[in-house]
Amino acid sequence: MVDRRQALEWIATYEAAWRTPGVKALAGVFTPDVTYTRSPWAAPLHGLDALGRFWESAREGSDEPFSMTSEIVAFDDPTAVIRVHVDYGDGERWRDLWIVTFDPDGRCRAFEEWPFAPDQPDGH
């Protein structure tokens, strides 16, 4: 079982992995067979190798400046819904919802991201 405290620790571990050079830290955050969906429109990535390639292509580097805040908006073991705010040093901003399903060991086995940027159309 994973509880809210462990989910909060997982968020901190995720951020630390993003800030760590390379992708070896991903093994402490995600299960080897993780499915990682980058948006509701993207096909899921499968496994740590695919996720590692995506992470390396999606970030400028582990030292890119950004601030991240988050809050758990819903939790029903093994799944958490997390609201995330990321502000990059270059002015880029994202507001995301993450749906994270945990393995009993506390790592993520399924990750679904709903990213929102300020310049996205609002649907009207």
Please, are residues 80 and 7 in contact by the beta-carbon 8 Å criterion? yes
Interatomic CA distance for residues 93 and 10, integer angstroms: 22
Per the prediction, the chain carries an average pLDDT of 92
Domains and CATH numbers, the chain: 4-115 (3.10.450.50)
Give the pLDDT score at 124.
Answer: 54
- pLDDT tens-digit map of 30-79: 999 999 999 999 999 999 999 999 999 988 777 889 899 999 999 999 99
Give the pLDDT score at 119.
Answer: 79
Give the pLDDT score at 23.
Answer: 93
| CA-wise closest residue to 96 among 45, 25, 32, 37 | 37
Interatomic CA distance for residues 95 and 116, integer angstroms: 5
pTM of the model: 0.91
- Is the pLDDT at 123 greater than 60? The verdict is no
